[in-house]
Amino acid sequence: MSIGRIDNGRGAGGARRYRFVALVSTNDDSREVTAMKRLLIGLLGLVLLVLVVGAGALLLVDANHFRPQIQTTLGQALGREVTLGQLHVSPWSGSLDADDIRIGDDPAFGDKPFVSARSLQLGVRLWPLLLHRQLQITSLTLDQPVVRLLQNRAGQWNFANFGAGAAAAPAPDASPTRPLAFSVDKLRIRDGRIDLQRAAGDTRSYRKMALSADNVGLGAAFPFSMSADIAGGGSLQLDGKLGPWNATNALLTPLDAHLVMRKLDLVGAGLMSSSDGVGGVLDIDTRISSARGVLTSKGGIDAHKLKLVASGSPSPQPLRIDYQASYRLLAGTGSIDHGTLGSGGAKLAVDGSFDNRGKVIQLDLHMHGKQLPVDDLQPLLPVFGVVLPKDSRLSGGSLGVDLRARGTLDALVISGPVTLDNSRLAGYSLGSKIGGVLSLAGIKAPKDTVIRHAAATLKIAPSGIHAEPASADIVDLGSLAGKGGMAADGKLDFSMLVKLDQAIAGGGQAAGGLLGNSKAGRLLGGVLGGASDRGIGVHVGGTASAPSFKLDPSAVAGLLGSGIGAARDKGSAPDAGAKPADKPGKQDALNNLLRGVLDSRKKD
């Protein structure tokens, strides 16, 4: 009734009564909040009490009581003897910590441990441990482990039977590849190291290895992430899924992952020999998958400072390699399909096979391409040992190659035909080097060497480059044909036969061609014109960056004789009364003339 009167009250009195009721209501709420706080404090205290009691109980637990059980459980699951150091309880993390751990190796590979770690942290479920003394492992964390991966002469790895379960024979109805039921929620490895030694004797090391895997079980695929530094230069990152585990041969376990390798030094990582003058640094980004013992990969490689032959030089800019490969894990051999190698718009097609059983991978590749733009291939030339004269470069035109590359990666032998069409060797005048006699007639050689067509069958080896046969058609000069090579130190040894253009030599007529403009030119025209059919012998020496040219002394006499003979054939018959000394006198004059030109070229 009073509340009804308050609702119908008047003026300030009504307002005061409303405030009074409101104050009473607020006081009730405060009492409820206070009660809730007390309840929460009580619950919190209870939880803390339980935690303290639990922690105290854990401290009272003798962790080493579980060591035989842990060693047996892990040993049966891994198929290896497992030895743990002293165990300690870590109540706040809810784990058992071991001072060290050793996982034995396959007895066929010796008595050194397969895995040894500074410490092991076992995550366990607390309540089963406290109430029932049952050990349920939820996580494994290895600190600074060292993993030894070994391959024997038969090609078998020491981890092949890892995870095979107990050594006892399986039941008759059991599958030989079925692993024991073993799983952990989390597997972590920190600051680890992998030492790998193959049957060929080469060793590789991966440091600062970190691994993170969840829901790890031998009976199903699980996700993982792994990173490591490669000793000698480089790093790797591998992310994907692994499993189900193949207990017969772990090498056959399915894998699907993304592999990224940065700054992989081919020499530092042991993929190339440091004594062969080759090398390079690779950035690799590829997708890999393994099934039924075949590892397939598809991706790309950016090769920096790549050098494949000792006589070459590192590529001035990165080269791109795109590839698709398959690798037979048990055999150690594989194939490359649909690969390309090049820079810019010019790509060589690459396919073939490889053998990874030796210290250095063995290759048998076919590299080919037609009408490839020369300008885009400039960075590729020094990789294969092609050295151009100093301050010169190829400009324009197209290149055709059909090469076979065989041998180890650090000692490849590359052979096959190469063609070059409609290109220009800018900054180098071949005519001025081998056409010195033309200056006597006032003819100036072109500044650049314009190549209408060139062809050679090459053999590029660690000892150098050999071309046989080699030919070229040079605009405003003539044709060249011959053979020779360049040693690994760049020294040249070529024998060439030069046939001058008819427009220069005058077709054998002293008064014809460009040489008919002067008396000396007409005289030389007779010599060179007569020699144009047979060619002028030229020896190329010096180095690839600074080649030198000289007339072949053994050919000069023949050229002089041919020139005089040609002039006589085109002119009147010789005077029967001429003295025999006349002929040698003319030969000596021309011989001295050409040798004088030769000497001047040597001085230059």
Nearest in space to 507 (alpha carbons), one of 542, 469, 478, 544: 478
Q: Are strands 183-197 and 87-90 parallel, antiparallel or unpaired?
A: unpaired
Q: What are the residues whose beta carbons fall under 8 Å from the beta carbon of 469, sequence distance 6 or more?
A: 456, 457, 481, 482, 483
pLDDT at 401: 96
pLDDT at 63: 72
Q: Is the peptide bond before 469 cis (omega within 30 degrees of 0)?
A: yes
Band of residue 441 on the pLDDT scale cut at 50, 70, 90: very low
Domains of the chain, residue spans: 2-59, 63-168+175-253, 257-425, 429-443+470-603
Residue 315 tokens, joined: 């590529």
Secondary structure string (H, E, C) spanning 313-364: CCCCCCEEEEEEEEEECCCCEEEEEEEEEEECCEEEEEEEEEECCCCCCEEE
Band of residue 183 on the pLDDT scale cut at 50, 70, 90: confident
Nearest in space to 408 (alpha carbons), one of 439, 365, 449: 365
Chain-wide mean pLDDT for the chain? 78
pLDDT at 435: 56
Band of residue 444 on the pLDDT scale cut at 50, 70, 90: low
Contact, 538 vs 550, CB < 8 A?
yes
Long-range CB pairs of 503-506, under 8 A, 24+ apart, other chains included: 504/435, 504/438, 504/443, 504/476, 504/477, 504/478, 504/528, 505/529, 505/531, 505/532
For 18-22, 314-318, 478-482, 500-504, which range has the lowest pLDDT when averaged over its residues?
18-22
Nearest in space to 282 (alpha carbons), one of 298, 293, 266, 296: 266
DSSP character at residue 164: -
Residue 52 tokens, joined: 């303290």
Kindly state the average pLDDT of the residues 510-526.
Answer: 49
Residue 497: pLDDT over 50:
yes
Residue 358: pLDDT over 80:
yes
Higher pLDDT, 211 or 386: 211
pLDDT at 164: 78
Band of residue 265 on the pLDDT scale cut at 50, 70, 90: very high
Give the C-alpha distances (Å, rounded to integers) separating 249 from 159, 177, 244, 535: 8, 8, 12, 69
**pTM summary value:** 0.76
Band of residue 450 on the pLDDT scale cut at 50, 70, 90: very high
DSSP character at residue 551: E
pLDDT at 345: 79
